[in-house]
Each structure stands twice: as C-alpha cells, then as structure tokens.
A and B are shown apart, each in its own frame.
Chain A
Amino acid sequence: MATNVKNDPNRRDFLYVTTAAVGAVGAAAAVWPLIDQMNPDATVKALASIEADISSIELGQSVTFKWRGQPIFVRHRTPKEIADAKAVPLEDMIDPATDAERVTAGYEQWLIQIGICTHLGCVPQGQKPSEPKGEFNGWFCPCHGSHYDSAGRIRKGPAPKNLVLPPYEFMSDTLVKIG
C-alpha cells in the first residue's frame, strides 16, 4: 500500500478530491429543496392584483384596502396637505423624496402606499379621524414612535425609509389597479 501511494500519489489524490467534491455537491443539491420550501409558495406569490374603487373616498378621508395580505393606505389629500408636503425642503428628510415622486402626475390628491411601518412592520395609525396622525400630519407608528408626513415620508423616529409605494395604475379617475 505504502509503495503504491508513493508511486502514484496524484491519481489517488484526484480520486479522493473528486469523490468528496461530488459528494458535497450532491448533499447540497439534496438540501436545497428542504430549504427552498420555506420561501413563499405559489399561492402566496400568485401576484393577485386588486381593483380599488376610490370614488366614495371623500376629500381628507383615508381608506385601507387589502393586497397580498398587506394593508394599502389610500388617502384623498386636501390641497393644504399637498401644499404642506411640497413645502418641505429635502434636507429636512431622513429618506429624501419630493412630493411628486410619491404620487402619480395628475392625481396628486391620491396618495397610495403600503401601510406597513418600514421600521419593524407595525401598521401606523392615522387612517381613521380618531387616530393620531403624528407630528407631521400624516401617520404615526405607535410601536417605536415613527412619524410620517402627509406624503408618507419618514420625518422622525427609528424607521429608515418612507412608506413603500405598491405598483399601481389608474384605470380611470375612480378605479385603481393595485399590483
């Protein structure tokens, strides 16, 4: 045996290494399905879109729709809310964005966002008239105290990003397709 190894070390090493490599790849391939089954399944991913009828939302009112299990905040903004949002200098923001970037041109009164705090995922308050709107007249997340303004931008508190905008388009003046 010893002489064999001495005479022919490369062939043997090669066999060892390739066997180990094939084994490792095989094991990884077998493990992958076991891991990947934890990712969102086909029904969750099925990009269901909803059509939201916004005709009955009064000026200054907000309504929550449900899309992919997430709350979608639709707010019919007043001219004052829009003017306030436009007046804020970008330097004052944590995640700078102009008001125009937050809405669709021609539909400035409609602010449509995913109603999940970008900090740790609570649903911010401010949709109902009875709820606090925070220091910037938008939304207030009670979990750890994040304040969003009337364009849904984070202005104060631990959340790092503005409220996320879902993909959506206006089918008509009163119908929005979300997703």
Chain B
Amino acid sequence: MSSHSNYNPTNPVEKWFDERLPLIRFSKEHLMDFPTPKNINYWWTFGAVLAIMLVMQIITGIVLAMNYVPNIEMAFDSVEHIRRNVNYGRIIQATHAVGASMFFFAVYIHMFRGLYYGSYKAPREILWILGVIIFLLMMATSFMGYVLPWGQMSYWGATVITNVFSAIPLVGTPILEFLRGGFVVDNPTLNRFFSLHYLLPFIIAAVVALHIWALHVPGNGNPTGVEVKSKADTVPFHPYYTMKDLFVIVVFFIPFAWFVFFAPDILGHADNYIRANPFITPAKIVPEWYLLPFYAMLRAVDFDLFFINAKLGGVIVMFGSILILMVLPWLDKSKTRSGNFRPMFKPFFWLFVLNFMMLMYLGAQAAEGIYVILSKVGTAYYFGYFLIILPILARIETPKPLPNSISQSILDKYEAKALKQAKIQGNGNSEIQGKGGK
C-alpha cells in the first residue's frame, strides 16, 4: 500500500517521527492520496455520511449521558428535564433522536447501493460481511437507546423484543430472564441497556475501522463494476472525494436540521410521551420506522410449520432476513457486478426495493386482514429474491458487454452524448465533436 504515498518528509523532526511511528504517512496514504475510481457517483458518498453520523451520535450521546438518569423512577423525567431545562438540551436531545433516523436512512441507501452495484462480490465479501455486522450492531444500539426515555413504547418495545428470545426451545425462559435481569422488564433492564447503549457505538467504530481497512485492500468499486486497471482510472481521494463527500454531508444536514429545529418529534411515537406502565399495553406497538420491515416479517409468520411453532418461526424469519445478507456473496454468482449491465436483474432489484418499502408500511399496520396476506407475500419475495431469483439469474442472464476500462466507459459516454447533440444541431458542429473525440 505504501506505493500510493508520495509522503517525503524533509523536516528532520517529521522524519524522526516517521521512522518511529508512520502515523502521518498512514493518514496521508489512506485519507488523502488513496487512489479512488474517477467515475464513482453520488451513491458512493453515503459511507462518508455514515462516518459523520456515527461521530454525531457519539458526541451528542456522551453529552446527554451527563444529564440522563438510568433509573425507572427518574429516567422519563430526566429526559424531559434535558428537553426543557438543560441549556441547549432541546437541540442536543433532538439531534440524537433524529440522528438515529438519519443514520438508518443513510445506511439503507448505502446497503441498497451495494445490492445494486454488486459491491458484495469478490474480492469484497469480507467488507460486505463487516457491513452486515455493523448493521446488526446499529439495530441493537438503537433498540436499547429507544428504551432509555422509559415511555410506553420504550417499555413495550423492550418487552416484546426481549420476549422474542423466549421462543428458543428449552433455554428460552432462562435466556429471557438473563437478558432482563428479572421476570419482567424493570430497573435492572434499564440499567444494563444504558450501559450497553453507551458501549456499542464504540464497538461499531472499531468494526468501521476494519470495514475501511477491508475497503482499502481492493479499493473502491465503481458504477461499471470494472476494476481499476491503471492510474488513469483513478484520482486521489483528496481533494476530489473529500470535497464531494463534504458537499453531500452539507446537503444531508439540511433535512436533518429541519427535523431537529422544526419537527423533532415527528419521527417518534406519541405514546412514548406517556410514562411506562407495566400494566397497560398500548393498543398498537410500533417500532421505529427503520425496524418496521423486519417487524413485519416477524409478524408475517402466524402459522406452524412442522415442529416449528408460529412464534419460533417468526423469530427465525426475522433474524434470517439479516443473516441471509451474510451469505449473499455466495448466492449471487453472476460474474457481472454492476446492475447497469444486467438487464434481467434490474426489474427484480427495483421490485425488491419496492417490496422493502411495502414491508416498512405493513410493519406499522394492525396484524389483520389484507395486511397479513401482504406481509406474507412481501416476506416471500424478500427471501425469494436472495434464495431463488439471484441464483437463477446468475445462470440464465446474458449481461451487456462491459467497457474495457473505467476511462473507456467515460469516453464512450461522452462520445455518445456529443453524437446525440451533433444530430440535434444538424450535421457537424465541429466544436462539440472535437471535445468528445478520442
């Protein structure tokens, strides 16, 4: 990797330091000079958005923890105290709460980018699997964070989700009591959730470091799916992508700020402003929007299958829906990475995206009538996409011809555009043709 560096310290102090700990060299190689495909589009900027969001959540979280009290008698009031009395608490609390939603929004874009462009394919399988691990950790973190304000949704969400583990045969109940530290969700549960909610983001940060390490071995993919062939295919990360990423981060912060300043509660649930009551279940328990597709799949299984009862079946399906992503690199054997060159893949992919949104909608509806049927159809398509459609497509699809290189693909595109323009303007606008020529 040192080949990417043009770090030549001349200053004797820098030189001395570099020989002992090449920290500056390392940063320059990986944050500035790193050769990055020159054709990556805006879908590739969300990794940087995610990195910023992780930092935002950690900073606002540490500050919130200075004022929050993890005790069932005081937790609810302490959050209200932060919102009403602590200096700027209203904004800090809203930033953390809305930030979780924005974080998930970005991660979904990042993941769908990977699904469309085949980012999970060799040689990036480990990179992808680390991503799935990060996603699981994010879900655990946000779930436990949501319990901390100790409102009705906090309490009943915690009850229902911890109860999921009681479906495990034989050891279910002991595991449930182990997780809760009691027979029901109570003070010990709140205490440990706070402890873990503080810990997990740092674990995520560590896995992100591995994620980026694994990224920097093969380097970034790109929309053509053709690997970098020469230096001409790349540009240095700084300033080209530092600036592009920064631009997207700024744009991303506009809706983020709108939520924080004008509608901090709009993504939450009104029931969570009622203090937790272990004796009254709200009429409808709805998780946060970003967990809804998985919740819909949990509920879609309301029938027994052989020796697996409905409850265990739902749990298997819910966890399976994420674990299946781990083996995706071995399910989709198509040699062509990018969806751009896969005519049959494309409609199935977009149907998968729509289906995911439908499941998100269904997760928030009552489990009755047409919603139940649609949930089952949606769950079937979710799994069918990975287990049936992708493996079959890999065998029968004839992909479109790939460009020879990244540079070639850019030239081809430019030429096509110039030709089209030339046609519109009548034959031979020499200026445009001259620019587009080889």
| A contacts, CB < 8 Å to B | 38-41, 44, 64, 66, 68-71, 116, 119-125, 141-145, 157-160
Contact = CB atoms under 8 A, between A and B. Distances in A.
A16 B177 CA distance: 39
Contacts of B368: 145
B390 interface: no
Interface in B244-302: 278-281, 283-285, 299, 301-302
A160 B160 contact: no
Contact of A39 (B163, B178, B278, B281): B178
A119 B311 contact: yes
Nearest to A144: B367
Nearest to B156: A122
A161 B338 CA distance: 49
Interface residues of B, number: 36
Contacts of B188: 40-41, 44
B183 interface: yes
B309 A123 contact: no
Contacts of A145: 366-368
A44 B162 CA distance: 18
Q: Pick the 3 closest A-B CB pairs, nearest first.
A: A121-B163, A122-B281, A120-B163
A39 B310 CA distance: 28
12 contacts: A38-B178, A38-B181, A41-B181, A41-B188, A44-B183, A69-B183, A122-B159, A124-B281, A125-B281, A143-B156, A158-B299, A160-B311
B183 A120 contact: no
A68 B183 contact: yes
A89 B280 CA distance: 32
B311 A159 contact: yes
Interface of B: 156, 159-164, 166, 177-184, 186, 188, 192, 278-281, 283-285, 299, 301-302, 309-311, 314, 366-368
A158 B314 contact: yes
A147 B183 CA distance: 23
B214 to A, nearest CB: 29
A116 B162 CA distance: 14
Contact of A122 (B166, B178, B285, B309): B285
Given A40-B177, A69-B278, A157 B163 contact: no
B183 A40 contact: yes
A66 B279 CA distance: 9
B182 A44 contact: yes
A70 B184 contact: yes
B211 to A, nearest CB: 28
B281 A160 contact: no
Contact of B279 (A71, A141, A142, A158): A71
Given A69-B182, A158-B299, A142 B281 contact: yes
A112 B192 CA distance: 33
Given A38-B178, A38-B192, A121-B159, A143 B285 contact: yes
Contact of A69 (B156, B166, B186): B186
Contacts of A40: 177, 180-183, 188
A33 to B, nearest CB: 14
Contact of A44 (B166, B181, B284, B314): B181
A124 B162 CA distance: 17
A157 B302 contact: yes
Could you say which of B166, B182, B299 has the most chain A C-beta atoms within 10 Å of its C-beta? Answer: B182
Could you say which of A44, A121, A123 has the most chain B C-beta atoms within 10 Å of its C-beta? Answer: A121
Contacts of A160: 309-311
Given A41-B181, A159-B311, 6 more contacts: A121-B162, A122-B156, A123-B278, A123-B280, A143-B156, A158-B311
A120 B164 contact: yes
A123 B281 contact: yes
Contacts of B182: 40, 44, 69
